[in-house]
Structure 1
Amino acid sequence: MELTLNGSTRVYFVVGDPIAQVKSPEGMTAAFQAAGINGVCLPAHVAPDDLADWAAGIRKMKNADGLMVTVPHKIAFAGLCDEISDTARFLNTVNVVRFSENGWHGEMFDGRAQVEALLKNGAVLQGKKAVQAGAGGAGTAIAHALVTAGVSELAIVETDVQRRDSLIERLNSLGRAKVYAGTSDPSGFDIVVNATPLGMKAGDPLPFDGDKLTAEMFVGDVVTYPDTAWITKARAQGCRVSTGLDMYAAVRDLMADFLLQKAV
């Protein structure tokens, strides 16, 4: 692909801490250029304490049209937008922000993307029992999407007890599934999802007891490497899997359409 890059190029950012692991700069730039948009996506490594100041500076850029948000800023950035979608408001988290003359509009696609990736890889969610590790920005969205996709039960494993219990209460208020606190033992579940950053660094522990996985389980991940220790263990146990790269492909398309103001 021949890249158009000149003084008229529109700029998009992906902001996070760390940022080296993200695939968005290449993938989103390719999506923009393929759509005939003279735009590029650039990584921005911003610490949590500096996020508000950085966002205030970006607001003054006249050639910036939007940004994507990754760990650990998805919850904080919900409060920096002028308007957020109903889904983002329920979750209090965003992963993409579109700039316009009317302000910054935030949306959250992580949950929808994870569900799309699971289904595309052959998972059945309707009426199934799921357990998920992580209740941060992405984890909150994925838990919500699993419930709305029709799982009968969802157990949530999260070290921040207050965050976990708050999410459980909100999801149970929907009346769609039984949601409760889980453990690192995945026994008895049909769907087992890692929605934590575990696997981004060498030597990270597994999010669940991998020896308890069985071939009947379907395993998902959010970490955008093809073979994390979690996915490798799941495959060794005979499980079918959906990788973080599968989720990334889905979320990339959803975010590109949103930023280019297409229906999603």
Structure 2
Amino acid sequence: MKITFLGTGTSQGIPIIGSKHPVCLSKNAKDKRLRSSILIEKNKKYFLIDCGPDFRYQMLRSNHEKLNAIFITHEHQDHIGGLDDIRPLNLIMKKPIPVYGLRRVLESLKKRFDYIFSSEKKKFTTSNISIHELDNYQDFFIVEYLKIFPLSIWHGKLPILGFRIEDFAYITDASCIPIQTIKQLKGLDVLVLNILRKVPQHTSHFTLSESLKIIQKISPKKAYLTHISHFLGFHEEIQKKLPKNVYLSYDGLIIFI
């Protein structure tokens, strides 16, 4: 399984427009972060987790032109804002792309992208998707012969999803991971987990110390941190201070599991 980190930044990305923060002014490519998203490749099938506003550029930059499914963690703009840009992929693949998420999230998509769901739309003039609700899955669902386990996560007071595929799991925007979900995350080769900054604490995102405690509790072989704010600091400096099996992800990073 091949994992490509398409984006590893927070809702504003790095650099932030107009910011004079040293990290935003960094010349290091690893300090420049688009909105968080990953692409999973397995048996020549391609699966996207979250489709943010940078989706078009992310796909161009990674030279990908096919998607077999999109999994949405939650309905915030930095995780769904690029949905309209799947239209060229529809034209290439000549079929709808299935989108999976909680019912609440899919209803939000219908409101924000109402023209996609309009009965009056013309073929191929808008993005073409099929929607699949995940609210009633207690265990796993199957897409293209691949088992995907939806994970219950809390983003502040908002219930959202993470996803486990084989011995890989992706969790972003978490502020709390329920005990039952922790149990579902045992035995991982790779865990991807969000980290906003060092301090102060945030109501809806893990800080560095909180993420490291969760990683220690789950004990994956390796962990990669994502959804990173400029307030965390410079990539190279932070990486030197992390445990040996914990890594800061960066845009364009590719790992194999």
Q: TM-score range by the shorter chain?
A: 0.3 to 0.5
**Structure-1-length-normalised TM-score:** 0.35
Q: Which structure shows the bigger proportion of residues in helix conformation? A: 1
**Greater per-residue strand proportion:** 2
Greater RCO, 1 or 2 (C-alpha within 8 Å, sep 6+) = 2
